[in-house]
Amino acid sequence: MKDYSYLALGEELDRDGYVFCDYRVKTDVPMEKAAEAIAAEQSTGTWTGISTLGDDVFSKYAGKVTRIDGDMVTIAFPAEDFSGRYGGVPQILSVIAGNLFGLGALQGARLEDVAFPAPMLRRYRGPKFGEEGLRKLLGRPVKPLVGTIVKPKIGLSPKDTAKYIYEAGAGGLTNGKDDETLVDQDFCPIEERTKAVAEALDRVEEEGGRMMHAINITCNADQIVGLAEDVQSWGAREIMIDVFTAGFGAVQAVAEDPKIKVPLHIHRTMHSAITKDPHNGVAMVAFAKLVRMIGGDALHIGTLGVGKMEGNASEGMKSYRACRGPDLPYRTVMPVCSGGMYPGIVPGVMAITGDNVQIQAGGGVAGHPGGVRAGAAAMCQAVDATSEGTSLKEYAKTHRELREALDRWGSR
């Protein structure tokens, strides 16, 4: 039986014919051997020579190792490996991030980035609204969007949830959202909650504000499209889905449902189980690209090294660029910074992102000494000050809510 080589170092391949994946590899065996093991495992190979693998199959469908640079390896998978009507993102992930992590030749492997060919990208529609659409709906063409997460994460009734959202909107916030653990528990049924929040948002609008709130519909695959349609009929102005727990296919199904006329806010809860280890797993940037492809309008990208969640500016900015960069032919996604946000660190976030971001604070609003409305005002004041180029300390002299927030939490 023929011994096929998956090495194609330095070979120029048609960018429209392959999916290019960059892996960081830790191994005790020669890097060429480790790279070949990944290419083989994720395409045509197995642990031994097989009589059913011929030249025609190998040449058309085998992954090719095109670059080895230190611990970085680039493997190109033929676009044919991703063809067909029913594969979608589940199949993509099975190829580019499948069994390779269990290979005995590897001590660690991390998918650092992926580049899709133009013909493949044309199969996906991207966001219906994206960053520009969200701004238009909110009447906020410039400055960051400023949002909150209802706290406590679970436990409030629909009435108390709606009261929180009203107070946040009255304080000037543009966005609110359910937390990732809340969907349809007995203490806060989703229909009752959605209708109550809709009434609160109407009240905010009657008083001159403009706000949307993302209702979390994360649920089983056979229920999610129907639930999306239901919450929209109950008055939801935005829908939230936990993409890792519900699945990429679930997000795409909702995004492509022609009946859905509201934006999709995508939460990344559970991602760190896959993305946190720098030597094993998948970098968030790859998932950010997939979310943009399948139709997410807003996506959490972490705290860029300034909030409570792990992560650094470099990793976060890769996701930020995936949301907004020109390499994907879709509307831009609104990047959401969330996780330990409070007024004192707004300048640190905006120094990295500029105005093109949604800053989302939970405890940084609900924990304000003056309550939710004052906490919302303080967040807005921090954004306004930073946009104007004024220090928070100076702005706080004439803005009580911001001053009280700085007294409580300080600044960075």
Sign, CA dihedral 116-122-125-131, equals positive
Hey, how many other C-beta atoms are within 10 angstroms of the C-beta on 97? 21
Number of neighbouring beta carbons within 10 Å of residue 159: 13
Catalytic annotation, pick one of 64, 128, 265, 267 = 267
Q: In angstroms, what CA-CA distances link 142 with 6, 98, 192, 266, 314?
A: 50, 41, 34, 22, 25
- Annotated catalytic residue 300: no
Backbone conformation region of residue 346, classed left if phi is above 0, alpha if psi is from -120 to 50, else beta: alpha
The one catalytic residue among 143, 151, 265, 271 = 151
Cis before 263 (ω within 30):
no
370 to 64, 150, 175, 201: CA distances (angstroms): 60, 16, 20, 21
* Residue carrying structure tokens 């199904």: 253
**Site of tokens 């993409």:** 243
3-state secondary structure at position 397: coil
Which of 11, 7, 62 is closest to 36 using CA atoms?
7
Contact yes or no for 376/168 (Cβ under 8 A): yes
Residue 20, H or E segment:
strand 18-26
Residue 207 burial (CB count, 10 A): 10
Handedness of CA 220, 225, 226, 227 (dihedral sign): positive
Q: Which residues pair with 240 in a beta bridge?
A: 216, 265
Q: How long is the chain?
A: 412
The yes-or-no answer on residue 267 being catalytic is yes
215, 236 in Cβ contact below 8 A?
yes
- Helix 190-206, helix 158-170: angle, nearest 10: 20
For residue 309, give the amino acid letter: M
Instruction: State the Cα–Cα distance between residues 183 and 242, nearest whole angstrom.
Output: 10
Catalytic positions are 151, 267
